[in-house]
Structure 1
Amino acid sequence: METGAAVNTGHATAGLGRKKEKMYITTIKRLLKNKLAVVGLVIIAIQVLMAIFAPWLATHDPIKQNLSAAELPVFSDGHWLGTDNYGRDIWSRIVYGARISLVVGIVSVSLGLIGGVVLGLLAGYYRKLDGLIMRIVDLLFAFPGILLAMLIIAILGTGLINVAIAISIWSIPTCARIVRGSVLSVKNREYILAMKALGASNARIIIKHILPNCLAPIIVFATMRMATAILSAASLSYLGLGAQPPTPEWGAMIAAGQAFMWTSPHMTVVPGIAIMLVVFAFNVVGDGLRDALDPNMDINQ
């Protein structure tokens, strides 16, 4: 009897593993059928490679000044994206700026996910905590996102670390609401009720059975939130609240170049295009993931 039960359990586990593997393959196929998502993946891959290999891709020191070569136009000898008003190579600053934007985005989104997922799971699963947590979330929603980030930076001080913390706090309420909604739709299903009847602990049910079923909206949120985080970090740096000179951050580069918009427009246009492309990439990949993870989507369409 016990041997038979063990064999059945093994077959069930193997079947579940094959089902998950098939689901992953199906999701990837759906994503790759979305041409815009593929373009976005390529742009993101380029940014990641720029961030990793910045010391080798940069042709000059990104913060070293050379006033004799100030405001060189694009395609200048040795400076194919030109130089800024201090003679610093713009290509090198763009490359290192990709690293800063990516790190700030990943850190802020990760911290926001941790806080939002924990609060969302607790609010969705424990009815007694739902009202309290959601009122706190509503309080955070009362502030416009960028103003909330500015308030947090005003308290903590300027700098990229504080920018990442501010953006992560801004991300928590949205993530919490998304996760709470997913938990509410899952926790009353038959297999969850069966686990409770078998005596499984709440922690085990939440971590091993509810959280995995909430991963799809969390992944989509994280991808699209990366775009918001990068754009927000650039906006705060543009306002002087984030990266401080001479840090090669894209938003700070736009702020420094706006005074030279008519004489050297490339100082503003180049980092602006970089921000636009990366934000576009994460948004279209997020849209593609949302469609690919939708169980109602037909791969043969």
Structure 2
Amino acid sequence: MATDTAVTTDVQVEAPIPDQQNRVKTVWRKLLQNRWAAVGIVIITLQVIMAVFAPLLTSYDPTAQDLSVKERPPGSEGHWLGTDEFGRDLWSRILYGARISLIVGISSVLLGLIGGVLMGLLAGYYRWLDGPFMRLMDLMFAFPGILLAMLIIAMLGTSLVNVVIAISVWSIPSCARIVRGSVLSLKNQEFVLALRSNGASDIRILFKHILPNCTAPIIVFGTMRMATAILSTSALSFLGLGAQPPTPEWGAMIAAGRDFMWTSPHMTIVPGIAIMLVVFAFNVVGDGLRDALDPNMEVR
């Protein structure tokens, strides 16, 4: 009986994490079986290719002006997406704008995840930190997200770096609540109690056993938050709080083209379609990931 008890305790000490390689293959297969998610993956892949290989996909400088070809429609004189009011090639500006959107989106989401995951882990695991941390999150939720970002940028100044900071701060409350909920459901399970009884430290329990079991909602949140981050970056740049001229950022391009809507509508339509497609792609991929990572989907 003593031997049986010892074996049982050893099994319970380890967190119930499935084989990661098989899990990744299963999730990837389910994701590709979702038609809309597959379309989103293609769009995101194209954006990454555009961002990485932008210098190879165009021969025009995105900031070089040529007033002799200003406001040309798509397909004219080698400018297949047309030119803007300063004669700058819109295709080049879309390519380099994809790079800015990806960099700002990934940076802000990563920073937001780091802050949100840490606060969620601590609030969910330590009861004495739960109240203060969650009241702080409630205070941040009291501000509409875009207004909170505008307030931060107003204090720090207008630049893309400050846009990253503002969007990352905006992302922390939602991430913290998601992680906190997962930690609350995990910390009283048998494998955590067994780890405590064997003298495991809180840091080991949190980061080696509880956090890996929270990765599914974190991944889904991060993917869908990319859409919000890119859209928010464009919105802030449209308002003049983000990228400054002549930076080829999609929101700033829409702001510059709104005065030419009747004469050169392509100046606004082209970057608007780029934003729409990328935001749509990250949203449908996030939905697909949520379904693929949900074990109850097999039953339904």
Measured against the shorter chain, the TM-score band is over 0.9
Following superposition of structure 1 onto structure 2, how do residues 1-301 of structure 1 map, counting pairs within 5 Å?
19-298=19-298
Cα distance in 1 between the residues matched to 2:199 and 2:253: 58
Unpaired runs of 5+ residues, structure 2, are 1-5
- Paired AA for residue 168 in structure 1: S
- Percent identical across equivalent pairs? 71
Cα distance in 2 between the residues matched to 1:18 and 1:161: 39
Cα distance in 2 between the residues matched to 1:176 and 1:70: 48
Cα distance in 2 between the residues matched to 1:47 and 1:253: 17
| CA deviation profile, 1:207-264 (whole Å, cap 9, x unmatched) | 0000000000000000000000000000000000000000000000000000000000
Cα distance in 1 between the residues matched to 2:35 and 2:77: 36
Q: Secondary structure at the match of 2:219?
A: helix
Q: Secondary structure at the match of 2:19?
A: helix
Over the aligned positions, Cα root-mean-square deviation in angstroms equals: 1.9
- Paired AA for residue 53 in structure 1: F
After superposition, the Cα gap between the structure-2 partners of 1:226 and 1:86, relative to the gap in structure 1 and judged at 3 Å, is same
- Paired AA for residue 207 in structure 1: F
Shift of residue 18, structure 1, vs aligned partner:
7.5
Cα distance in 2 between the residues matched to 1:20 and 1:107: 26
Contact 2:17–2:212 at 8 Å: present in 1 too? no
| CA deviation profile, 1:98-131 (whole Å, cap 9, x unmatched) | 0000000000001000100000000000000000
Shift of residue 22, structure 1, vs aligned partner:
2.1
Cα distance in 2 between the residues matched to 1:19 and 1:87: 55
Cα distance in 2 between the residues matched to 1:81 and 1:252: 17
Q: Secondary structure at the match of 1:297?
A: helix
Shift of residue 45, structure 1, vs aligned partner:
0.4
Q: Secondary structure at the match of 1:298?
A: helix
For structure 1, which segment, 290-299 or 180-189, has the greater mean C-alpha deviation from structure 2 after superposition? 290-299
Contact 2:69–2:87 at 8 Å: present in 1 too? yes
Shift of residue 77, structure 1, vs aligned partner:
1.8
Normalized against structure 2, the TM-score is what? Answer: 0.94
- Paired AA for residue 145 in structure 2: G
For structure 1, which segment, 51-60 or 201-210, has the greater mean C-alpha deviation from structure 2 after superposition? 51-60
Cα distance in 1 between the residues matched to 2:279 and 2:63: 25
